[in-house]
Amino acid sequence: MEWPGCILFGSDVHAQVRALELEHREIYESLDPDRIEAWLDFAPFDGAYSDDFGSSASGGRGESYVAAQRATFNRVTGITAILDIVGQRTAASPLVVDLLGGDGLISRVAAALGRTESEIVTCDASPFMVEAAWAAGIPALLQYAQFPLFRAGSVGGVILAYGTHHIPPQERATVVKEAHTILQPGGVFVLHDFLVGSAMERWFGEVVDVHSVTGHRHSHFDRADIESYLQAAGFAEIDVMPLDDPFVVRAPSAAAAELAMGRHLVEMYGLTRLVEEYGETGAYRRAHELGRAIFRDETAGRASGAEPYYAADLGAWTLTLGRSAVVGRGVA
C-alpha cells in the first residue's frame, strides 16, 4: 500500500459520512447531523494537531503501527474477550462503536473469527488511521472519543480499548458519559486498559518512552478510577475485572518466533531508536529481550513461560508474552 504524504479522505468527515450513507446505511442512520456540523466547526485538523499515529513524515508512527496490525492474530485472545463482553448486550441495535479503533484491528479480528453479531464502526482521532481503515475496506469515522458523532440512544455497544490511557485524565469521565449517552438501554460499554503498576505501564515508561520518536508519557488507570467513571456516567450494572491480553506469535522455528515477537514489538510501538542503535534484526532481538524481562511475571504459568515452544497441533513454534489488562463493563 502506498501512503500519501497528505491524508485527505482521512480528514474529510463529509466524505466519510457520504460513504457511510451509500455503503453502510445502518451506521449512517445512527449519526447525529448536528453533532457532525459542530465537530466540523471545531476543525482541529489544521496542522496544529499533534498526532502520534500520523505518518512518519509528520512525526508520527502510523506506518509502523499499521504494519504491526497486519499480524491480526497476535492479539486475538484479548480482542476475543472484548467481543464476548460487548456481545452480552440486550440492546436492539447490532452497531458497536470502536472509539479508539485505529486502522480497524478489532473489526478485522471479528471478521476473521466469523463474529457477525455486531456491525463495528471504527472511529479514531487520527486521520492517518481513519484513512488506513477505509483503505482496508473497513467503515470508519474521524472523531474524538470525547465527542462521538452518534445520536443519543442509537447504538448497541461501545468499545474504548487499546489507547484509553492516551485520553487526558481530566477528559476521561466525559468520554465514559458520552458513551453512556449514545447507548440504547441494554447496551454494553467496555473500557479496557492497563493498571498503574502493571508490566504494561513499565513497558511504556522504560521502553516506548525511551526508544520511540513520539515518546509515551500517559497516566494509566486504577480500579477505583474505572468504577467511579462508570458510576458517574449512570450505568445500571457495573463490573471491573481482569482480562488476559497476551501477544502471541507463531513461526517455523524457535529463533524465528523470537524475531517475530521482537518485530511485532518494534513495529507496534514505533521503536525506531532501537533500529538506529542495533540495526533492524538486532532491534528485533533487543525488543524481544526487553519484552521477555518486563512481562516475565505476567507470562509465568503459561505453557510457554515466555520461551518458544513447539505446538504440535499447529505445526509451529509459539511464543507468548503475557499481558494482564483490566476491563470495566457498564450496561446502560
Task: Confirm if 103 and 136 have CB atoms less than 8 A apart.
Answer: yes
Tell me the pLDDT tens digit for each residue of 298-324.
876 555 456 888 988 888 999 999 999
Q: pLDDT per residue over 221-273, tens digit each?
A: 999 999 999 999 999 999 999 999 999 999 999 999 999 999 999 999 999 99
Are 218 and 272 in a shared domain? no
Give the C-alpha distances (Å, rounded to integers) separating 78 from 161, 231, 264, 279.
10, 24, 16, 31
Do residues 101 and 123 make contact, with C-beta atoms less than 8 angstroms apart?
Answer: yes
As for how many domains the chain has, the answer is 2
**Residue among 272, 277, 282 at smallest CA distance from 63:** 272
**pLDDT tens sequence across 40-96:** 877 555 444 567 665 566 666 657 676 667 777 899 999 999 999 999 999 999 999
My answer on whether 193 and 72 are in the same domain is yes
Mean pLDDT over each residue of the chain, to the nearest integer? 89
Question: Taking 60 as the threshold, does the pLDDT of residue 2 lie above it?
Answer: no
Please tell me the number of Cα atoms within 13 Å of 71 on its side-chain side. 19
The boundaries of the domain holding residue 298 are: 247-321
Distance CA 7, CA 57 (A): 11
Judge whether 14 lies within some domain: yes
Q: Are residues 75 and 208 in the same domain?
A: yes
Rounded distance between C-alpha atoms, residue 220 and residue 224, angstroms: 12
Q: Are residues 173 and 271 in the same domain?
A: no
Is 27 among the domain residues? yes
Q: pLDDT (tens digit, 9 = 90+) per residue, 170-183? A: 999 999 999 999 99
Q: Do residue 149 and residue 59 come from a single domain?
A: yes
Which residues in 240-277 are b (16+ Cβ under 10 Å) and which e?
A: beebebbbbbbbeeeebbbbbbbbbbbbbbbbbebbee
Contact 109, 72 (CB under 8 A): yes
Could you give the CA distance from residue 319 to residue 304 in angstroms, rounded to a whole number? 6
Flag whether 119 is in a domain. yes
pLDDT of residue 45: 53
Measure Cα distances from 209 to 206, 213, 214, 273 in Å.
Answer: 6, 8, 7, 11
> pTM for this one?
0.91
